[in-house]
Amino acid sequence: MTAIDVTGLVKRFGDRTVVDHVSMRVGRGEIVGFLGPNGSGKTTTIRMMCGLLTPDEGEGTVLGLDLRRDSRRIRREVGYMTQRFSFYEDLTIAENLEFVARLYQLSPVGEHVGRTLDELGLSSRRGQLAGTLSGGWKQRLALAACVMHKPKLLLLDEPTAGVDPKARRDFWDEIHRLAADGLTVLVSTHYMDEAERCHRISYIAYGRMLATGTVDEVIAEAGLATFVLRGPDLGLLARDVSGLPGVEQAAPFGATLHVVGSDAALLSASLAPLAARPGISVEPGQTSLEDVFIKFMADARDNIQ
């Protein structure tokens, strides 16, 4: 069973194509990470999937409902958490949720609010004004508002931007709990550790889908080779390495320098003379998801031009 099955989605604003023939399949109960640089079309794609925007081209279903004919029904079955949380700051947590419950015509209101407060760990703060909450608690309140009507699909647009690492981890623990109960989640993020917590990932750049699969599959299909250099004066070493044949990326990581390229043999040959220098070691390394995404961004063409 698929929660999202869309093909060839296109969205234009004026003469600019923001989403360019994007296709995606997401199975029920999956957590799929949606990644790409700012302006790549992630938010526009998400808004088409939840029925807020009508595609100019393309077709598909969300939760078995037609993307074009059933947009209103799709909105009732989806929880959508936007990049910026919107609350009434002079209302309490419980009062904000009561307002949302009435929007969804949930009855009895008190029962739905109480259950949601308990499930999201907000009961002890139910009387606290939303405007006084920290970023992590505001995030939790936003999630509570999105799942109170028991959606079958949760769309999250960079939900953890601006919150501390513990709040991010707690948030993702909650997402995995919801997915274990059958909820499907599509989440856009810029954080590599969050992408690695997803069952699968899809990468979009400037409106076009470039890769999809598990993290291991995406890394393997990118075909990159990575070498780790250690030694003194890494700053000078990085400058020397950057101009060598086959070197596409050279980035310091703590006390090491990670060098990445698409041609493993050429890269190895270029780096071999460095290993003869006193105190410098050159060893094969593990290509990271970040290395792959930097490669994608370098190769992609900006659709604003």
Q: What angle do CA 42, 75, 186 make, to 5 degrees?
A: 35
Where are the domain boundaries for CATH 3.30.70 in the chain? 225-286
Among 99-108, 159-168, 244-253, the least confident range = 159-168
User: Using CA atoms in the order 37, 43, 48, 49, what is the torsion angle rounded to 10 degrees?
Assistant: 90
Instruction: Identify the DSSP state of 204.
Output: E
Q: CA of 288: how far to CAs of 146, 193, 228, 284, 291, in Å? A: 33, 11, 12, 13, 5
Q: Residue 61 is inside which H or E element, if any?
A: strand 57-62
* Residue 304, pLDDT score: 47
Q: What is the mean pLDDT of residues 154-166?
A: 87
Whether the CB-CB separation of 50 and 80 falls below 8 Å is answered with yes
Q: What is the mean pLDDT of residues 58-76?
A: 95
* Residue 276, pLDDT score: 87
Task: Kindly give the pairing relationship between strand 65-66 and strand 200-205.
Answer: unpaired
Closest-CA residue to 299 (of 46, 44, 37): 37
Strand partners, 65: 62
Q: What is the average pLDDT value for the chain, to the nearest integer? A: 92
Q: Please state which CATH number belongs to domain 2-219.
A: 3.40.50.300
What is the radius of gyration, based on Cα positions, of the chain?
23
Among 55-64, 103-112, 132-141, the least confident range = 132-141
- C-alpha span between 112 and 72 (Å, rounded): 22
Q: What is the mean pLDDT of residues 148-172?
A: 89
Where are the domain boundaries for CATH 3.40.50.300 in the chain? 2-219
Whether the CB-CB separation of 74 and 65 falls below 8 Å is answered with yes
Whether the CB-CB separation of 11 and 56 falls below 8 Å is answered with yes
Tell me which fold the domain 225-286 belongs to.
Answer: Alpha-Beta Plaits (3.30.70)
User: With bands split at pLDDT 50, 70 and 90, how would you rate the model's confidence at 302?
Assistant: low
Q: What is the mean pLDDT of residues 89-106?
A: 95
* Residue 68, pLDDT score: 93
* Residue 285, pLDDT score: 94
In the predicted structure, residue 99 carries a pLDDT above the cut 60:
yes
User: With bands split at pLDDT 50, 70 and 90, how would you rate the model's confidence at 152?
Assistant: very high
In the predicted structure, residue 45 carries a pLDDT above the cut 50:
yes
Whether the CB-CB separation of 21 and 208 falls below 8 Å is answered with yes
Q: What is the mean pLDDT of residues 177-187?
A: 94
In the predicted structure, residue 163 carries a pLDDT above the cut 70:
yes
Strand partners, 188: 34, 157
